[in-house]
Amino acid sequence: MEIDTIRQKLDERFRFVREEEDRLRALRAELQEKLMEPAERGQQEQELSQINSEIENLENESVKLREALARADAGSYGMCSSCGRNIESTRLDAIPWTELCIDCAQAQETGA
């Protein structure tokens, strides 16, 4: 895949993630204002917890996307940061911000 195409894909995903973060933050603020209603407090607290978790996941993805864009600028995008081998294009298509090849990712997950 050409670096301009990769950069465009990463930029588009980054914009989507930021918009989703903004939407969830607005929803969280709205729910926090309504939290004073005792009859619905349990459900609202559960919704807030879920929203906070989603925001955290999006923030983490945003960081990974910025790092992938930096790797694209540096010319190291698509190379495993652990072993230095090329990451398979199918893996990059599925997870464009990944910095690990499948072997290193599996080793990291299993603690090997």
**How many Å apart are CA 67 and CA 30, to the nearest integer?**
32
Summarised one tens digit per residue, pLDDT across range 34-89 is 776 676 777 888 899 999 999 999 999 999 999 999 999 999 999 999 999 999 99
The residues spanned by each domain of the chain are 1-77, 78-112
- Mean pLDDT over each residue of the chain, to the nearest integer: 91
* Res 112: pLDDT: 65
The CA-atom distances, in angstroms, between 89 and each of 10, 44, 77, 96, 109 are: 14, 42, 11, 9, 21
* Res 36: pLDDT: 64
Q: Is the pLDDT of residue 31 over 90?
A: no
Nearest C-alpha neighbor of 23 from the set 15, 34, 35: 15
Q: What percent of the residues of the chain are helix, what percent strand, and what percent coil, each to the nearest 5?
A: 75, 0, 25
At 32, is the pLDDT very low, low, confident or very high (cuts 50, 70, 90)?
A: confident
* Res 37: pLDDT: 66
Local structure of 86: helix, strand or coil: strand
